[in-house]
Structure 1
């Protein structure tokens, strides 16, 4: 009886620590990728503005 309870609690702790570790590494990854994503977004936004200016100017 006690061993199954111990296994359950160990599983819970492993799940808890696993989710926390994955979450922290994921947030670190997001912080690492943020500048790259921001530059890509700027390029995309400028591209859309450029295309819209061209189409509206020609139209």
Structure 2
């Protein structure tokens, strides 16, 4: 599993690639690549939300002990 720093770096790189593809909207290949990158970013956001939810649950469980 990648470290949190690697995860953030890779997510930022994906975001930058998405921005680069959006700048050429008349290129069908760029639009397709943008859609793929956008889907990957959406999954990463779900992963981030899950991570923070998991951390909140663990913190709550520790507080109860």
Question: For this structure pair, what is the TM-score category when the shorter chain's length is used for normalisation?
Answer: 0.5 to 0.7
Q: CA deviation at 1:32?
A: 0.3
Other-structure match for 1:16? 43
User: Normalising by the residue count of structure 2, what TM-score does the alignment of the two structures yield?
Assistant: 0.51
Cα RMSD for the two superposed structures? 1.5
Other-structure match for 2:54? 27
Q: Which runs of 5+ in 2 are unaligned?
A: 1-27
**Number of equivalenced pairs:** 38
**Higher RCO, 1 or 2 (CA under 8 Å, sep at least 6)?**
2
Q: Which runs of 5+ in 1 are unaligned?
A: 40-59
Largest Rg, 1 or 2: 1
User: Normalising by the residue count of structure 1, what TM-score does the alignment of the two structures yield?
Assistant: 0.55
Give runs of ≥4 in structure 1 deviating > 6 Å: none
Bigger helix fraction: 1
- Supply the distance in 1 between the matched residues of 2:62 and 2:38 (Cα, whole angstroms): 37
